[in-house]
């Protein structure tokens, strides 16, 4: 093969040009840069060369003459305005001395007692509750379905009430309290327990809810059937009034 066995001849042109390559430090410089390179001056110092010669002022005439009246477009050949001061010097004033005034005994010539700093003890603007909660009957909503009024006292409907007070071991009469329908406390024991906590702490007593059986509404007589003792409309009004009053009165 020619490109392996036969040795190629050296071409005359390298990189598409037959010109000699400049390998000095001035390669890539223009004429102005080559003229003022440090190689032209062996000893560079402020007093070692003539400034005019560096700008070719000796061989080339100055293209612009310097004006003796100044530089710039604001230079004017007219006469300068002489500013004259029309007022006397400070030491030429003949002023009369000010009369000596008698100083006041009290500041601002007032001996009244100063007021102390006023401290506003009123609460700040952000502490007021504009939308104060109003007492109203609470309702339980079922995601847009039936709305049920929350009773002030839960009603336990059963044919036989076997709840027994945990403290006195007696059957509660009337309203009583329960915790998850497992622990029951009658009304008398609850008032005594709140006054003197013995078996439960005050935090635990807050978790108890008031409840009553359905014996005042209807009678089961040991069966699942019921006999109304009061008219349903009367019971509805009773529960509404009780729910409203429970929002104001605590147990």
What number is the average pLDDT over the span 93-97?
79
Among 220, 214, 235, 239, which residue's Cα sits nearest to residue 157? 214
What is residue 184's predicted lDDT score, i.e. its pLDDT?
92
Task: Determine what percent of the chain is predicted with pLDDT higher than 90.
Answer: 10
CA distance 187 to 172: 7
140's enclosing H/E stretch is strand 139-141
Q: Are the beta carbons of 178 and 240 closer than 8 angstroms? A: no
**pLDDT bracket for residue 67 (50, 70, 90):** low
CA distance 160 to 163: 9
Collapse the DSSP code of 218 into the 3-class scheme (helix H, G, I; strand E, B; otherwise coil) and give the result: strand
What is residue 49's predicted lDDT score, i.e. its pLDDT?
64
The sign of the torsion formed by the CA atoms of 106, 108, 110, 113 equals negative
185's enclosing H/E stretch is strand 183-185
**pLDDT bracket for residue 77 (50, 70, 90):** low
CA distance 235 to 212: 14
Cα distance from N-terminal residue to C-terminal residue, the chain: 114
As a 3-state breakdown, the chain gives helix, strand, coil percent values, each rounded to 5, of 20, 10, 65
Please count the residues of the chain.
Answer: 251
CA distance 127 to 152: 32
Phi, psi of 211, rounded to the nearest 5 degrees: -150, 160
pTM, full prediction: 0.44
What number is the average pLDDT over the span 143-168?
86
Paired with 213 in beta bridges are 156
What is residue 56's predicted lDDT score, i.e. its pLDDT?
55
Contact partners, residue 251, CB within 8 Å, separation at least 6: 177, 210
243 vs 75: which has the higher pLDDT: 243
What is residue 247's predicted lDDT score, i.e. its pLDDT?
82
Among 247, 248, 246, 251, which residue's Cα sits nearest to residue 191? 251
């Amino acid at each position: 093969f020619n490109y392996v066995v036969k040795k190629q001849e050296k071409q005359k042109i390298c990189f598409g040009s037959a010109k000699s390559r400049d390998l000095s430090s001035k390669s890539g410089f223009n004429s102005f840069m080559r003229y003022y390179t440090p190689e032209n001056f062996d000893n560079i110092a402020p007093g070692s060369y003539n400034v005019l010669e560096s700008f070719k002022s000796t061989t080339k005439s100055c293209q612009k003459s310097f004006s003796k009246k100044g530089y710039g477009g604001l230079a004017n050949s007219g006469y300068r305005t002489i500013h004259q001061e029309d007022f006397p010097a400070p030491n030429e004033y003949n002023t009369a001395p000010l009369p000596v005034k008698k100083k006041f005994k009290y500041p601002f010539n007032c001996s009244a007692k100063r007021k102390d700093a006023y401290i506003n003890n009123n609460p700040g603007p952000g502490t007021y509750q504009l939308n104060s909660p109003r007492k109203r009957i609470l309702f339980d909503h079922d995601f847009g379905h039936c709305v049920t009024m929350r009773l002030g006292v839960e009603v336990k409907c059963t044919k036989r009430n076997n709840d027994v007070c945990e403290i006195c071991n007696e059957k509660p009469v009337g309203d009583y309290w329960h915790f998850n329908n497992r622990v029951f406390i009658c009304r008398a024991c609850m008032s005594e327990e709140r006054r003197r906590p013995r078996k439960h702490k005050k935090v635990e007593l807050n978790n108890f809810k008031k409840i009553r059986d359905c014996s005042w509404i209807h009678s089961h007589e040991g069966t699942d059937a019921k006999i109304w003792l009061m008219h349903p409309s009367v019971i509805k009004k009773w529960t509404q009034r009780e729910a409203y009053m429970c929002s104001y009165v605590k147990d």
